[in-house]
Structure 1
Amino acid sequence: MEYRKLGDSNLEISVITFGAWAAGGWMWGGTERGEAINAIKAAYDAGVTSIDTAPIYGQGLSEEIVGEAIKDIQRDKVQILTKFGMRWDLAKGNLAMHSKDNSGNVIDIYKYAGKESIIKECEDSLKRLGTDYIDLYQIHWPDTTTPISESMEAVARLIEQGKVRHAGVCNYNPEQMDEAAQYLNPVSNQVPYSMVKRDIEKEIVPYCIEKSKSILAYSPLERGLLTGKMKPGYKFGADDHRAGIYFFKDENLQKVNAFLEKILPIAEEKNASLSQLVLKWTFEQPGITIALAGARNSQQALSNAAAADIRLSKEEIDKITAHLNQLSLSR
């Protein structure tokens, strides 16, 4: 496993970081708690020391699962990354979406990052995680109803109190990052990035490289699209959020799978899966510090971790990118 520092901090995290959204079940068709816990433990044993979660993932369930999975691990040997700013239990801020919890109950989710809300969320997260500090505390989405100054000053207070070690942001543009930097030192920006979603290369990547900010790439496998396992006609469950996303239209599944066939020989030469090759390509891109990868079970967790051990030359990376540049998906 390879480890990289976040921004100009002394916090090192594994290039494959365990993404625990699916572990919470919400929007992923449910979860199996025991398998999720075993997946996190297996990942840790394989060198994945960093875990990214959030309160909204299963309305607290993901954080509880993470807490249970790491309870017997020496605290300074694991890095906990969690978030704040999405409330399902408080109707304030911007309505983000109507949804259902894991029990099928209707819930409304708001983007809200007011000071008192952040303080409460932090305390709740610490309890669920079974720890007294969070390594990286990230605002989940911009909240246009609360000044960035208020949100960042609340996090700065938590850092002063020792409850948070480092601050990060998610889904921020360069202007928002600049404003946040007036009140504390956000070391990272967690944003969506995959072979088929590369728009951050225009502004966010150059900005983060210039300002020495890390990029945490989420959904690098584009929610299963880039595994090569999804074929035209694939049927999603009723509560699976992927069902309505254009990536998964039959036409696009055909195009993506044709692209994956072109790079398959490189994967086979490395004795690697397509998923592993895609993950490796992702965190070798300029400005990308780590890739977040979720796993439903131990086997998937170990497969993700092994991506860090693949060796790709610059020529091989360029060859993959050249094939990729010819791919055009339909909206």
Structure 2
Amino acid sequence: MEKVRYGTTDLDVSVVVLGTWVTGGWAWGGSDERDSVTAILRALELGINFIDTAPVYGFGKSEQIIGKALKEWGNRGDVVLATKCGLEWDEKESIRRNSSPERIFYEIDQSLKRLGVDRIDLYQIHWPDPSVPFEKSMEAFIKLKEQGKIRAIGLSNFNVEQLRGCLDAGPVQSLQPPFNLFEREAEKELLPFCLENGVGTLVYGGLCRGLLSGKFTGDEQFPRGDLRRADPKFKPDRFKQYVKAVDEFRKIAARYHRTPAQFALRWALQQPGVTAVIAGARTAAQVEDNAGVSGWRIEPNDLQTINDILARRIKTPVGPEFMMPRQ
């Protein structure tokens, strides 16, 4: 597994990050705990040492499952662990942003307990909170770093202006934006800014909620509780546009003896400003497929062909805005 130094941190990470939103089950139609633990252990066996999670993923469940897997693995030093803060929820699972220092100090202790560790390698504000000045949140993060509870400070879902505001208040070393073959807004300003300023990036949604895996026909229906029911890409007027594009990507991927998922993740890794790409997995088999992104490259002419396919097939592109929590 390819590894890189993550931005300006002292963390050496795999270029593939194990994403664990699906591990928590919430918004993904549930999950099997044993399958999830097995998937995490398989990732670590394959050299995927970077795990990203958040308290809101299953309302604590994802972090708890990771904690169980880490206990089975037994070597905390092998693992670079990233989690987040700044979202709170009620008994109806209604989510709102809260990046106040009080909330941050509360959440770090809850996450440490669920994960069964004494330090988080990368701690991130999950979504920008317009009701809290950036310097207040950054002061809390700096204090946590001084206390030894976190190693590096990161942000998720921040734009360039918001990132710049946080950089003015403290040492931001990481950004987690959405980015994949179908959702490329970050390549305009955000990724170039991070590249110029030495901010590491772990981009999420690498498989675009499974759309880039090649497993869909465009006729699928999703159950209640699955976030794809709300994703405009999976609506009848757009779904087959994306599926036809993936079918064309599949043909190019086959020339590299790779799956569509591996091809999509490799594409993301080759984009300027991308340090690592997050790929979720329910099972060990999916982890093994994701690990196949390492050790090869897409040729420049095929990168251009990808752009041509997108321009021809996707007539009404949309981004991931539907996932934004209320402020």
TM-score band, normalised by the shorter chain? over 0.9
Partners of 1:88 and 1:108 within 8 A in 2: yes
Match of 2:53 in 1: 53
Q: Which of 297, 300, 304 in structure 2 is aligned with 1:318?
A: 304
- Give the structure 1 partner of residue 16 of structure 2: 16
Per the alignment, residue 83 of structure 1 pairs with 84
1:88-134, CA deviations, whole angstroms, 9 ceiling, x for partnerless residues?
Answer: 15xxxxxxxxxxxxxxx622211001112111100110011010000
The residue identity in structure 2 corresponding to 1:295 is A
Q: Percent identity?
A: 38
Name the stretch that deviates more: 71-80 or 35-44.
71-80
Unaligned runs of 5+ in 1: 90-104
Cα distance change of structure 1 residues 43 and 329 upon mapping to structure 2, 3 Å threshold = farther
* Corresponding position of 2:7: 7
User: Per the alignment, do residues 175 and 133 of structure 1 end up closer, same or farther by CA in structure 2, a change over 3 Å counting?
Assistant: same
The structure 2 residue matched to 1:269, chosen from 255, 273, 276, is 255
Task: Give the corresponding residue for 1:294.
Answer: 280
Q: Name the structure 1 match of 2:323.
A: none
Q: Deviations over 1:221-279 (max 9, x none)?
A: 11011112112221101111111211012342222222222232321122211111011
Q: SS of 2:175's equivalent?
A: strand
Q: How does 1:1-331 map to 2 (within 5 A)?
A: 1-71=1-71, 72-89=73-90, 106-330=92-316
Post-superposition Cα deviations, 1:116-161, rounded to whole Å, max 9, x if no partner, equal: 2111100110011010000000000001111111111101000001
C-alpha contact (below 8 Å) 2:214/2:250 kept by paired residues: no
Contact 2:42 2:287 in 1 (8 A): yes
Query: How many residues are treated as equivalent by the alignment?
Result: 316
State the Cα distance separating 1:9 from its structure 2 match.
1.6
1:85 to partner: Cα distance: 0.3
Letter in 2 for 1:64: Q
Counterpart CA distance in 2 for 1:300 and 1:204 is 29
User: SS in structure 1 opposite 2:218?
Assistant: coil
2 CA distance for matches of 1:265 and 1:25? 32
Of 36-45 and 305-314, the range deviating more from structure 2: 305-314
Which stretch of the first structure deviates more once superposed, 204-213 or 290-299? 204-213
Cα deviation for residue 53 of structure 1 reads 0.2
Q: CA RMSD in A?
A: 1.5
Give 3-state SS (helix, strand or coil) of 2:293's partner.
Answer: helix
Say whether the 8 Å CA contact 1:230–1:253 is kept in structure 2: no
* Aligned-partner Cα distance in 1 for 2:5–2:304: 25
- 1:81 maps to a residue whose letter is A
Gaps of 5+ in 2: 319-327
| Kept in 2: contact 1:247–1:329 (CA 8 A) | no
Q: What is the alpha-carbon distance in structure 2 between the residues aligned to residue 329 and residue 148 of structure 1?
A: 38
Distance 1:327 1:201, change over 3 A: farther
Aligned amino acid, residue 69 of structure 2: A
Letter in 2 for 1:207: F
Distance 1:263 1:24 in 2: 30
Indicate conservation of the 8 Å contact 1:272/1:310, yes or no.
Answer: no
User: Shift in Å at residue 86 of structure 1?
Assistant: 0.6
Greater strand percent: which structure?
1
The 8 Å contact of residues 53 and 81 in structure 1, kept in 2 or not, is answered as: yes
